[in-house]
Chain A
Amino acid sequence: MIELKGIKKTFHRQEVLKGVDIKVEKGQVVTILGPSGSGKTTLLRCVNFLEQPDEGTVQVGDITIQAQEAKKKEIISLRKQSAMVFQHYNLFAHKTVIENVMEGLIVAQKVKKAEARKRSEQVLAKVGLSDKLNQYPSQLSGGQQQRVGIARALALNPQVILFDEPTSALDPELVGEVLAVIKSIAKEGITMVIVTHEMSFAREVSDHVLFMDGGVIVEEGTPEDVFQKPKQERTKRFLRRLSGETEDSLLQQPQPQLQTEKSPNILPEGVAGHVV
C-alpha cells in the first residue's frame, strides 16, 4: 500500500530525515510518535510530496516516485492517492463547509457536481456536521473545522489518509470529538497514518506504532510492544517523561485526561450514531 525507502531530507544543512523506511499495509492504522523535531511530520509530508525528499522512493497505491527525478505530473498523481488532515485544519476560508468537501472532488477528480454534493453530504453526516453545510469555516469551532477537514479527506475516497497532529491545535475540550471521529473511520478499515501526541489514543487506535527520534525510526511494533515493553532506552525515556506529565496533569485535572480514553461516552450529538 505505502512504502517509503531510504527517505532523506535536509533543511538548511540540518538533516531532518536520515534514511527512513516505512511500510504500511492496506487497512492498517499506523501512528508515528516522537518528540518535537524528530522528523515525524516531515516524514508524513513526504508521503504526499508536500515536502520533496532529497533522496529515496515513495510508493503510494499504484504510484511510485524516485525523489530525485520526480516530475510535476507524477507528484500530482501521487497526491491523488492520499488525502491529508492538517494540524491547523487549513480549510478553504472562502468556501462553505460543503464546498470545502466538494472542491477536491470537482476540481481534481472531475466528479460531476450533483454526485460530488451527494458524496459530500454523506461524509459530512458521518462526522456529525449535517447541520453546518452552508456555514463558513470562520463560523465554526476548532473541533468542527477539523471534522470538516476529516470529511474533506474522506470524500476523496483515498488509498490512505494522512493525519498531521490532528488535535494539537484544539482546545482540550474539543479533542475528544475529533478523536472519536478518527476512531470511527479507523473501524471502517481505511488505511491511515497518524502523527500524534495523544498517547492513549495512539495505543487504542493503531495496529502499528513507529517511534521516531533524530530523523530515524528508533523502534516500531504493535502498540503493546512499544508502549508496554519498549526495547530502546530512548523510547523508554520518552514514554516515562510523557507518563510523568500525564500524572501531573491527572492530579490537577482528572476529568479531561480520562475523557479521551472513554471518548465514546462524550461524543457530540450526531457523531455517536455513526460510531456504533
Chain B
Amino acid sequence: MTIDIPFIWTALKEIIKALPVTMMLTIIPLIAGFAIGLMVALIRVYKVRILNPIANGYVSFLRGTPIIMHIMLIYFGLPLFIDAAAEMFGLRGQSQLIPISIFVLFALSLSAGAYLSEAIRSGISSISKGQTEAAYSVGMNTFQMMTRIVLPQALAQSIPNLTNIFIGFLHTSSIAFIVSQKELTGAANIVASTNLKFLEAFIAAGLIYWLLTILAESISSFIEKKATAYVKGGVR
C-alpha cells in the first residue's frame, strides 16, 4: 500500500468546504448549552426547590451516557413525540419536515448544557463566600451580587474548563456524520470513498481538527491571561 501525499492537499481543500457545518455543529450547541448550563448551575448552587432534583438528574444522565446516545435518542425518539403532538392538533407527519441537523443541534445542545453547567458551577464555587457577603453588606441584592461580583470571576476562572469543553465538542461534532451530516468527517468520508484514498482523506481531516484545536487553545490562553490578570498580583 502506498500513500499519495499530494492527494492529502487535494482532499484537504475539498474537506475544508465542510468547515462551516462543523463550526455550526460546535458553536450553536455551545451557545445554547451555555444558557442551559448557566441556568442549571445556578439552580444547583442555590438548591432551588423542585428544579434542583430535575437539574441533578439532567446533569447526571447526560454526563453518564455517551453523546452519540443522545443524538440517537433524540433522532429516533423526538419524532415520535412530535408526531403524537401533531396528531393531537390534527396535523400529520410533521417530524419528517424537520431537517436532521435540527435534531443533531438539539441533542448536542442538551449534552453541552450538562457539561458546561459543571464547569460554571465549579467556577462559582471557587469564588470565596466572603465576597458574596461583602456584596450583600454594601446593599446589593442577589442578582447584582451574581452579575457584578461572582459571575465575572467565576467565568474568568472557568476559561480553561470551557476551552476543554469547546475542544471536546469540536471533535464530538464529527459523530453527526452517522446521521449523514456533511461536516468535516462526513466530507472526509465522501472524499475517501469516491477516490478510494481513505488514509489520505482522514489525515487531511485530522490536520484540520488539529489546527482548529491549536487555534482555540491559543485564543483561550490569550483571553485567560487578560481575564484573570487581577489574581497575578504577586505581592501578598
A-side interface residues toward B, CB under 8 Å? 48, 50, 72, 76, 79-80, 82-84, 86, 88-95, 103-104, 107-109, 135-141, 152, 156, 162
Contact = CB atoms under 8 A, between A and B. Distances in A.
Given A86-B130, A93-B131, A107 B140 contact: yes
B192 to A, nearest CB: 49
Interface residues of B, number: 26
23 contacts: A48-B136, A48-B137, A50-B133, A50-B136, A76-B139, A76-B141, A79-B136, A79-B137, A82-B137, A84-B137, A89-B130, A90-B128, A90-B130, A90-B131, A92-B131, A92-B134, A93-B231, A136-B233, A138-B231, A140-B235, A141-B235, A156-B138, A162-B137
B216 to A, nearest CB: 24
Contact of B233 (A89, A92, A138): A138
Contacts of A72: 141
B230 interface: yes
Contact of B134 (A82, A86, A107, A136): A86
A90 B137 CA distance: 11
B232 A138 contact: yes
Interface in B190-236: 229-236
A94 B233 contact: no
Nearest to B138: A104
B153 interface: yes
A170 B9 CA distance: 64
Contacts of A104: 138-140
Contact of A94 (B130, B144, B152): B152
- For the complex of A and B, the 9 pairs showing the least CB-CB separation, nearest first, are A138-B233, A104-B138, A108-B139, A139-B233, A90-B130, A90-B134, A84-B137, A80-B139, A136-B230
Contact of A108 (B144, B231, B234, B235): B144
Contact of B235 (A86, A89, A107, A139): A139
B28 interface: no
Contacts of A80: 139
A35 B236 CA distance: 29
B92 interface: no
Contacts of A88: 128, 130
Contacts of A94: 149, 152-153, 156, 230
B139 to A, nearest CB: 3
A93 B140 contact: no
